[in-house]
């Protein structure tokens, strides 16, 4: 029996799904997971996804119908819907918000999307009558939105026709807006005659005796394709044929006109990598083998295992062995890393073992490339291993067997800016449940919550305390900056100890990493005459000075302005730059080491997809002697020749108004220290600090993770923080500061009547205005044993009550579950 109604997920930030009627023409072919075009509101069209089919007549006067099907088969699988449902409930997000986060732009079309005629399209005979009507409508102004085309043609089938016309290369989606996916094709050549028909072939060759160039090209084709010597002709590209024959396109076109050869388009992947010979995984040492057996043993009774291995203990090689085992079972693997930077080195490593079974998925890939990875998994193509960042959890796996979450403690796994504000580690653990997959969490410095889950026997725990080649952990030497400044033993931001250590390493032909977690040249500029500080026009932050382009920039909203010649407030020329950024560190190094090659790895230095790869490759190839970087250099990168790491000011990591500040400082200092001495000799770390007796500094130097863990657990128990309590941060936003303050106080009163002392705030956050939105925050703490569902329902009802007040209707309420 056919289903007359469907529930559709649309890319709109509204609760729930939307009910539509299924036209009779679609009732026998529509399936869950297919994309459909539906009307929404008075005039909009959206491309949505079928969530479910049913026969229940909705209590509506008029139920709108689906306009068109976009697919011949579902583009989502059932576990993806299960994940979306869990995320919507847990992270208090809408299906529409998850849709936008999960689906590549190339698989979405909306009525605002702009369409234009392909500049190279000439053959109008390829178009159907309806497509030709659309083509003519588009010809009027060359470019139009889908909504405008619907109005001009009076047809609601426009999206389907556009999809077909894109395949025929008649139209393209304007790149300034959302770009629909178009397969990449190359022009191929094939023969029109039957190879068994020797008489016809002989006549052709005889007929071309006077057209020497055409005859030569045809003979080259026969040679390249092995047309006469093999059962099946080898495919030949137009480009290769013209190159090897030396013929012009006109010669080839002449053979096409004579119906001797034929041109056709063949879809090819955009993801082209260098072919490397496949190798077996490296042999594991005794400690790794023991740890591997322990992991497998834990998986017999637990689904999640934490591998707590010191830096350079060889965790990646263990991952490779586990992936190999999973592939041999015919299952798929998701390998998550926190930063795109890590995929550069890992891709090379994994390609050597897994070849074309490896797929890469992250935002530096073009949208079309990401769609190709999506389709490869959907159609059960060659890819069995996905290496990617947090968005990879949304891919359509068919038989996911293992999820590896490397550097599981990293903040980058948390989506903080847009809803859904999910944590990829926690979400991946849920995803594994839907597939019956195992999870391996890896870190040298696990998050406090994860380590507690392991100690409480919720997760399995495997510890690896030895580095791969038995090389000792780096020696950490603290330098008291107060003392160094007092005794005038500083050169710019470098202590005498650090300078001497750098000279020693460079003279031994070794490399150095310097860590400073602030990009730009200087955090702010100030007028000495009147105290003016340049600030962002849209945010309550100072503008960072970037010397490379002589501009001041806001690192939150992107606002920039030129460096002023005079103080905008008093007209004085006494402007000074204050503080230290990586650009300035790089400049100071150039003065100290003029003969050496210095590189920088931060967001400003990495402006293109290949930019990061180039810097990392240059450093690996020893084309850079000293690499200055932000936390991008701390996250799992493996450089064999680095023997010295310098932290210019460890104190900048400690003083944050956050209960996780000390834990993060320990993790980051330990991780960046672990970049030193990974291969042949013990490394050295120069840790510059104003407070060498700070407990975290002492714990890092001693390598006492357990001591840090116990201290943090005691503090969190005392002050009601995770893992003893759960947190939900509520942020209120409005353009009017007076309105937001009143709304925050009103909302806080509502919540305190429900949750009493569990509600903290409202407070003005450290940055009280972002992109002209004034902000206020509240923090809800509630016991782990409480009903999360009930708490979240009360929060939603309270938000609805706030919006019911006319003066607060425009106030935005943002919920962040498990904030960092």
Residue in 803, 809, 728, 741 with CA at minimum distance from that of residue 769: 741
Whether 275 shows a pLDDT value over 60: the answer reads no
Tell whether omega for the bond before 360 is within 30 degrees of 0, i.e. cis. Answer: no
**pLDDT tens digits, one per residue of 680-707:** 788 899 999 999 999 999 999 999 999 9
Instruction: Please report, to the nearest 10 degrees, the dihedral formed by the alpha carbons of residues 657, 659, 663, 669 taken in order.
Output: 0
280 found inside a domain: no
pLDDT band at 669 (very low <50, low <70, confident <90, very high): very high
Asked if residue 143 and residue 100 are part of one domain, the reply reads no
Residue 242 lies in a domain: yes
What's the CA gap between 76 and 259, in Å, rounded? 43
Measure the CA–CA gap between 605 and 765, rounded to whole angstroms.
30
pLDDT of 277 above 70: no
pLDDT tens digits for 132-141? 888 877 776 6
Q: Please give the Cα distance from 555 to 544 (Å, whole number).
A: 7
Q: What is the mean predicted confidence (pLDDT) over 427-443?
A: 97
Which stretches of 466-525 are DSSP H helices?
481-486, 496-507
Residue 763's Cβ-count burial label (10 Å; 0-12, 13-18, 19+) is middle
The answer on 456 and 308 residing in a single domain is yes
Tell which residue, 203, 231, 210, 208, has the closest CA to residue 219: 208
Q: What pLDDT, on the 0 to 100 scale, is given for residue 720?
A: 95
% pLDDT > 90, the chain: 57
Token pair 């009627």 in the structure block, residue = 21
Among 104-113, 340-349, 420-429, which stretch is predicted with the lowest mean pLDDT? 104-113
Tell which of 462, 487, 502 closes a domain.
Answer: 462
Residue 268 lies in a domain: no
Q: Is the pLDDT of residue 191 over 90?
A: no
Q: What is the pLDDT of residue 817?
A: 97
537 or 186, greater pLDDT = 537
**Among 115, 122, 121, 172, CA closest to 146:** 115
Domain housing 89: 5-107
Do 668 and 690 fall within a single domain?
A: yes
Distance (Å) of CA 403 to CA 320, 336, 349, 638: 12, 7, 18, 22
Tell me which of 431 and 472 has the higher pLDDT: 431
Residue 230 clears pLDDT 80, i.e. is over it: no
User: What CATH number is given to the structural domain containing 151?
Assistant: 1.10.10
Output the domain CATH number for residue 785: 3.30.70.600
CA distance 71 to 31: 10
Same domain, 344 and 316: yes
Residues 100 and 121 in one domain: no
pLDDT at residue 27, as a whole number:
87
One domain for residues 17 and 102? yes
| In a shared domain, residues 488 and 616 | yes
Of 107, 129, 151, the one marking the end of a domain is: 107
pLDDT for 429: 98
Asked if pLDDT for residue 678 goes beyond 90, the answer is no
DSSP string across 792-804? HHHHHHHHHHHHH
259 has pLDDT over 80: yes
When the pLDDT of each residue in the chain is averaged and rounded to a whole number, the result is 88
Residues 545 and 248: their CA atoms lie apart, in Å, by 55
Write out the two tokens for 705.
Answer: 């993770």
The pLDDT of residue 427 is 98
Is residue 318, in this structure, part of any structural domain at all? Answer: yes
Q: Is there a domain that residue 182 lies in?
A: no
The predicted pLDDT at position 175 comes to 35
Element (H, E) at 588: helix 582-592
Q: Say if residue 306's pLDDT is above 90.
A: yes
On whether both 143 and 81 belong to a single domain, the answer is: no
Scan for tokens 């409005």, then name that residue.
734
Contacts for 612 with CB less than 8 Å, ≥ 6 apart: 340, 341, 344, 364, 601, 606
Determine the average pLDDT of the residues in 584-596.
92
CB 649 within 8 A of CB 498: no
Task: Classify burial at 698, counting beta carbons within 10 Å of its beta carbon; exposed 0-12, middle 13-18, buried 19 or more.
Answer: middle
Closest residue by Cα to residue 165 from 182, 148, 179: 182
Amino acid 389: pLDDT: 92
The CATH number linked to 659 is 3.40.50.300
Q: How far is residue 55's CA from residue 48's CA, in Å, rounded to a whole number?
A: 20
C-alpha span between 359 and 524 (Å, rounded): 42
Confidence label for 270 from pLDDT (cuts 50, 70 and 90): low
pLDDT of residue 68: 81
Enter the pTM of the model: 0.81
Instruction: Return d(Cα 741, Cα 763) in angstroms, integer.
Output: 9
pLDDT tier, 2 (very low <50, low <70, confident <90, very high otherwise): low
**3-class DSSP state of 508:** coil
At 32-82, the pLDDT tens digits run: 999 998 888 876 778 899 999 998 888 877 888 898 888 889 999 999 999
- For residues 443-461, give the mean pLDDT: 96
* Domain edge (last residue) among 215, 240, 259: 259
Specify whether 126 is located in the same domain as 56: no
Whether the pLDDT of residue 110 is over 80: the answer is no
62 and 36 belong to one structural domain: yes
Query: What count of residues does the chain have?
Result: 820
| 272 has pLDDT over 80 | no
- What gap in Å lies between CA 381 and CA 39, rounded to an integer? 34
- Do 662 and 654 contact (CB within 8 A), yes or no? yes
Same domain, 737 and 800: yes
% of the chain with per-residue pLDDT over 70: 94
Mean pLDDT value of segment 527-541: 92
Judged on CB neighbours under 10 Å (0-12, 13-18, 19+), 328 is exposed
For the ranges 47-51, 116-120, 628-632, the lowest mean pLDDT is seen at: 116-120
What per-residue confidence (pLDDT) applies to 493?
93
* Strand ranges of the sheet holding 544-546, from the earlier edge strand across to the other edge: 544-546, 551-553, 560-562
pLDDT digits (tens, 9 = 90+) for 152-183: 777 767 777 777 787 677 877 653 323 345 56
Residue range 14-20: average pLDDT? 92
> Which of 330, 316, 329 has its CA nearest to residue 281?
316
pLDDT at 113: 66
The whole-angstrom separation of Cα 373 and Cα 359 is 7
Q: How many domains does the chain have?
A: 6
CA distance 366 to 691: 46
d(CA 424, CA 393): 7
> At residue 219, what are phi and psi to the nearest 5 degrees?
-65, -35
In this structure, is residue 526 part of a structural domain?
no
Examine the domain organization and report whether 435 and 308 are in the same domain: yes
Asked if residue 529 belongs to a domain, the reply is no
- Predicted local confidence at residue 165, as pLDDT: 81
Which carries the bigger pLDDT value, residue 658 or residue 606? Answer: 658
The answer to whether 423 and 413 have CB atoms below 8 angstroms apart is yes
Is there a domain that residue 541 lies in? no
* Residue carrying structure tokens 């038995």: 470
| Rg over CA atoms, the chain | 31
Pairing state of beta strands 575-578 and 524-527?
antiparallel
**Would you state the pLDDT for residue 182?**
56
Q: Cα–Cα distance between 474 and 40 in angstroms, integer? A: 61
Q: What is the pLDDT of residues 741-758, one digit of tens each?
A: 999 999 999 999 999 999
Residue range 348-377: mean pLDDT, rounded: 85
Choose between 149 and 270: higher pLDDT.
149
């Amino acid at each position: 029996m056919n289903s007359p109604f469907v529930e559709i997920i649309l890319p709109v930030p509204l609760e729930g799904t939307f009910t539509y009627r299924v036209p009779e023409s679609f009732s026998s072919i529509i399936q869950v997971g297919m994309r459909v075009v539906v009307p929404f509101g008075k005039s909009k069209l959206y491309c949505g996804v079928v969530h479910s089919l049913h026969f229940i007549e909705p209590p509506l006067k008029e139920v709108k119908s689906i306009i068109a099907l976009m697919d011949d088969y579902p583009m989502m699988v059932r576990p993806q819907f299960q994940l979306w449902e869990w995320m919507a409930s847990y992270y208090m997000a809408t299906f529409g918000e998850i849709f936008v986060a999960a689906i590549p732009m190339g698989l979405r079309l909306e009525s605002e999307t702009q369409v234009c005629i392909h500049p190279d399209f000439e053959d109008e005979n390829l178009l159907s009558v309806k497509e030709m009507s659309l083509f003519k409508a588009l010809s009027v102004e060359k470019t139009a939105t889908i909504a405008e085309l619907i109005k001009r043609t009076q047809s609601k089938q426009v999206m389907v026709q556009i999809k077909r016309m894109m395949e025929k290369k008649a139209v393209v989606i304007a790149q300034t807006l959302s770009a629909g996916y178009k397969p990449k094709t190359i022009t191929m050549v094939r023969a029109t005659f039957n190879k068994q028909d020797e008489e016809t072939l002989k006549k052709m060759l005889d007929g071309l005796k006077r057209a020497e160039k055409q005859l030569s090209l045809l003979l080259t084709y026969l040679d390249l394709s092995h047309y006469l010597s093999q059962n099946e002709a080898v495919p030949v590209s137009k480009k290769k044929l013209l190159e090897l024959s030396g013929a012009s396109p006109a010669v080839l076109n002449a053979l096409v006109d004579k119906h001797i050869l034929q041109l056709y388009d063949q879809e090819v992947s955009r993801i082209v990598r260098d072919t490397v010979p496949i190798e077996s995984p490296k042999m594991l040492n005794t400690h790794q083998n023991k740890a591997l057996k322990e992991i497998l043993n834990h998986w017999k009774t637990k689904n999640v295992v934490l591998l707590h291995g010191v830096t350079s203990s060889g965790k990646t090689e263990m991952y490779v062995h586990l992936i190999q085992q999973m592939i041999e079972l015919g299952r798929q693997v998701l390998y998550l890393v926190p930063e795109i930077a890590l995929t550069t080195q890992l891709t090379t490593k994994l390609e050597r073992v897994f070849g074309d079974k490896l797929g890469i998925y992250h935002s530096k890939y073009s949208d079309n490339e990401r769609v190709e990875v999506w389709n490869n998994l959907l159609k059960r193509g060659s890819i069995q291993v996905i290496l990617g960042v947090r968005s990879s959890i949304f891919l359509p796996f068919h038989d996911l067997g293992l999820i590896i979450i490397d550097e599981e403690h990293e903040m980058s796994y948390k989506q903080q800016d847009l809803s859904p504000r999910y944590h990829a580690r926690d979400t991946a653990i849920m995803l594994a449940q839907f597939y019956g997959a195992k999870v391996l969490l890896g870190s040298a410095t696990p998050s406090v919550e994860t380590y507690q889950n392991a100690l409480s026997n919720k997760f399995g725990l495997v510890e690896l305390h030895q580095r791969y080649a038995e090389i000792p952990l780096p020696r950490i030497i603290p330098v008291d900056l107060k003392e160094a400044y007092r005794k005038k033993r500083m050169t710019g931001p470098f202590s005498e100890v650090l300078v001497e250590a750098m000279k020693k390493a460079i003279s031994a032909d070794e490399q150095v990493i310097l860590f400073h977690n602030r990009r730009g040249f200087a955090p702010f500029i100030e007028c000495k005459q009147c105290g003016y500080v340049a600030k962002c026009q849209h945010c309550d932050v100072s503008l960072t000075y970037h010397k490379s382009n002589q501009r001041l920039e806001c690192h939150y909203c992107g606002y920039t302005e030129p460096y002023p010649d005079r103080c905008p407030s008093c007209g004085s020329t006494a402007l000074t730059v204050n503080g230290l950024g990586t650009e300035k560190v790089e400049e100071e190094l150039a003065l100290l080491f003029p003969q050496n090659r210095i590189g920088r790895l931060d967001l400003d230095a990495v402006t293109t997809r290949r930019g990061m790869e180039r810097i990392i490759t240059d450093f690996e190839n020893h084309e850079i002697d000293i690499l200055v970087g932000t936390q991008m250099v701390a996250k799992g990168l493996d450089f064999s020749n680095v023997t010295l790491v310098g932290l210019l000011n460890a104190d900048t990591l400690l003083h944050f108004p956050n209960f996780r500040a000390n834990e993060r400082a320990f993790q980051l200092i330990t991780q960046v220290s672990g970049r030193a001495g990974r291969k042949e000799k013990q490394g050295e770390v120069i840790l510059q600090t104003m407070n060498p007796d700070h407990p975290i500094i002492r714990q890092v130097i001693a390598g006492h993770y357990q001591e840090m863990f116990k201290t943090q657990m005691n503090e969190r128990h005392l002050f009601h923080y995770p893992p003893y309590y759960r947190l939900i941060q509520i942020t209120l936003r409005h353009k009017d500061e007076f309105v937001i303050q009143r709304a925050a106080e009103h909302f806080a009163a509502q919540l305190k009547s429900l949750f009493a002392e569990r509600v903290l705030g409202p407070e003005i956050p450290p940055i009280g205005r972002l992109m002209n939105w004034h902000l206020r925050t509240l923090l809800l703490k509630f016991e782990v044993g409480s009903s999360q569902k009930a708490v979240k329902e009360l929060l939603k009802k309270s938000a609805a009550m706030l919006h019911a007040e006319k003066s607060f209707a425009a106030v935005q309420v943002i919920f962040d579950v498990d904030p960092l």
